[in-house]
Amino acid sequence: MADLTISVCHLYPDLMNLYGDRGNIIAFTRRCEWHGIKTVVQSVTLNQVVDFTTFDFIFMGGGQDREQQAICYDFQQVKGTSLHEAVEAGVALLGICGAYQLLGRSYKTGEGLELPGLNILDVWTEAGHRRMIGNIVEESDLFPGGPKTLVGFENHSGRTFLGPKVRPLGKVLVGYGNNGEDGTEGAVYQHAIGTYLHGSALPKNPWLTDLLITWALERRYGRVSLKELDDSLEVRAHQAARRRAQETWGKIKAGVK
Spell out the domain ranges in the chain. Answer: 5-254
The pLDDT assigned to 189 comes to 98
For residues 232 and 83, give the distance between their C-alpha atoms in angstroms, rounded to a whole number.
Answer: 36
Beta-carbon count within 10 A of 20 CB? 15
The pLDDT assigned to 250 comes to 74
Beta-carbon count within 10 A of 256 CB? 8
> Would you say 66 and 166 are in contact if contact means Cβ atoms under 8 Å apart?
no
Tally of CA atoms within 13 A in the half-sphere of 51 that contains its CB: 3
The pLDDT assigned to 1 comes to 59
For residues 121 and 146, give the distance between their C-alpha atoms in angstroms, rounded to a whole number.
Answer: 24
Dihedrals φ, ψ of 162, to 5°? -95, 140
For residues 209 and 32, give the distance between their C-alpha atoms in angstroms, rounded to a whole number.
Answer: 9
The pLDDT assigned to 68 comes to 79
User: From first to last of its 257 residues, what are the pLDDT tens digits of the chain?
Assistant: 568 999 999 999 998 887 778 899 999 999 999 999 999 999 999 999 999 999 999 999 987 777 878 888 899 999 999 999 999 999 999 999 999 999 999 999 888 889 999 999 999 999 998 999 999 999 999 999 899 999 999 999 999 999 999 999 999 999 999 999 999 999 999 999 999 999 899 999 999 999 999 999 999 999 989 999 999 999 999 999 999 999 887 777 676 55
For residues 3 and 5, give the distance between their C-alpha atoms in angstroms, rounded to a whole number.
Answer: 6
- Report the catalytic residues: 97, 198
> Would you say 17 and 64 are in contact if contact means Cβ atoms under 8 Å apart?
no
> What CATH number is given for 5-254 in this structure?
3.40.50.880
What string of DSSP letters covers 22-33?
A: THHHHHHHHHHH
